[in-house]
Chains A and B, each alone.
Chain A
């Protein structure tokens, strides 16, 4: 059996990044993710990697831009206000088709908000986030285990599609300790193939240029259309989710991350009392698992969306289900975390109304 350690979620991310063969981190401290740069500074030192505590999140994301353009796996982590500052850089990186990994340990907002767990950066994560036509591949872990595993998945997807990838966690997942199984061997960074587009000096080849602009008439339009063909491929191939107890469900709860954990307990309570309730947990938030929800909506009468916000993912659930089902919402904004009994009551309310 693989080694199992009791770890903070924020530390699990760091090990996941190291195991993914990444040796470049740049970031700026912000609660509730400070354990990431703290532990990363130790681990990168041990592994001979680069650790940079920057003057700002803006500098950090641009250092990633440079490191990625140099062909290296590079990551940063931050929390909501810091991620807002990074949006400029993420837009340029997406426009230059560079792979980077960004971890957002989401906290309450808007503004300085608070440091409690939240899911209120869903729109920002799944709609591009900065200026221009683009998307970022967004993964939503719900456990220490996935915080360990998703950095590798994130890098693989980012490199496959040459696009920024985002891990959307929250303060609860980052600050809790859970058992984490080290399910795979660490990747040796020197074993990763050289990128055929990387900037390294033009010895023995044509010079390469990394840029996000094209001022020639019509060219940017062509470029953006090609990028959207890539996005269509991502949408077709990379919709990730976990469906449990959905086959005979009259009501399916849709929740990701922390809310999925809590909802799972509420669904078990409902099943114990004979109610046909299931859980759909989106793992990729972009691409959102539109297809499975579309299929489900042909037979499931009710969806209950649970989020730690005033309702953002609910828009995607409505888009996916195309008015075929009734979509209800339960949310806890501003740092509130729902409880299983609270969601169970809501389930009763929804189902009770149909009887």
Chain B
């Protein structure tokens, strides 16, 4: 089974970190993984996206064109990425910041109040962790505990409070379903 994931949003929403944490968690669970950042012209305009592959087979290409799992964190990314999702794919979107509604009927739409929950926890920045938490629960792809380990590998310079807040955000996301 190969899961092809795209995470998209504004620069500063932790898009790249989310991707690396997902890939790292996959590696911890002995899966074949890859992470690929967006580059070139796509960097302009402050939008960021990255591809993550988590698979039971060696990863062919780390560049994902048609994800079966999509995380959309901001308005512009919704319009851009909704059409690319594979039929029957999962579409997580940050309902707090996105006013439009996804229109596809052949994919599973999962609205998440990612930023609202993050603000409740005291820090809007951890909205990405809320998303990773719900992704883990919905897909069963990764254990919650593994994500907690993986975020520590990513944020090696963060203080204990921040790491614990990240854990909480992961847990809140995980508990949404």
Residues of B contacting A238 with CB < 8 Å?
none
Are B39's CB and A264's CB within 8 A? no
B-side interface mostly = mixed
Given contacts A6-B20, A6-B27, contact A258 B35 (CB under 8 A): no
Contact pick for B58, options A176, A261, A337, CB 8 Å: A261
Given contacts A262-B61, A264-B60, contact A176 B34 (CB under 8 A): yes
Q: Give chain A nearest CB distance to B12 CB in angstroms.
A: 20
Q: Give chain B nearest CB distance to A180 CB in angstroms.
A: 10
Contact pick for A175, options B23, B36, B59, CB 8 Å: B36
Are B20's CB and A261's CB within 8 A? no
Q: Give chain B nearest CB distance to A148 CB in angstroms.
A: 15
B90 within 8 A of A: no
* Closest Cβ neighbor of A32 among chain B residues: B39
Are B60's CB and A172's CB within 8 A? no
Are A337's CB and B34's CB within 8 A? no
Given contacts A114-B40, A116-B40, contact A172 B33 (CB under 8 A): no
Within 8 A of A (CB), among B89-109: none
Are A4's CB and B27's CB within 8 A? yes
Residues of A contacting B62 with CB < 8 Å?
172, 176-178
Interface residues on chain B, number (Cβ under 8 Å): 20
Are A261's CB and B33's CB within 8 A? no
Interface residues on chain A, number (Cβ under 8 Å): 22
Contact pick for B36, options A114, A176, A339, CB 8 Å: A176
Given contacts A6-B23, A176-B34, A179-B27, contact A339 B39 (CB under 8 A): no
Within 8 A of B (CB), among A151-206: 172, 175-179
Within 8 A of B (CB), among A254-269: 258, 261-262, 264-266, 268
Are A172's CB and B61's CB within 8 A? yes
* Closest Cβ neighbor of A171 among chain B residues: B39
Residues of B contacting A175 with CB < 8 Å?
36-37, 39
Q: By CB atoms of chain B within 10 A, which of A4, A32, A179, A339 has the most?
A: A179
Within 8 A of A (CB), among B119-143: none
A340 within 8 A of B: yes
A115 within 8 A of B: yes
19 further contact pairs, Cβ within 8 A, besides A172-B61, A175-B36, A177-B36: A6-B24, A115-B39, A116-B40, A172-B36, A175-B37, A175-B39, A176-B34, A177-B34, A177-B35, A178-B33, A261-B59, A262-B60, A262-B61, A265-B57, A265-B61, A337-B63, A339-B61, A339-B65, A340-B61
7 CB < 8 A contacts A-B:
A114-B40, A172-B63, A175-B39, A177-B36, A261-B61, A339-B61, A339-B65
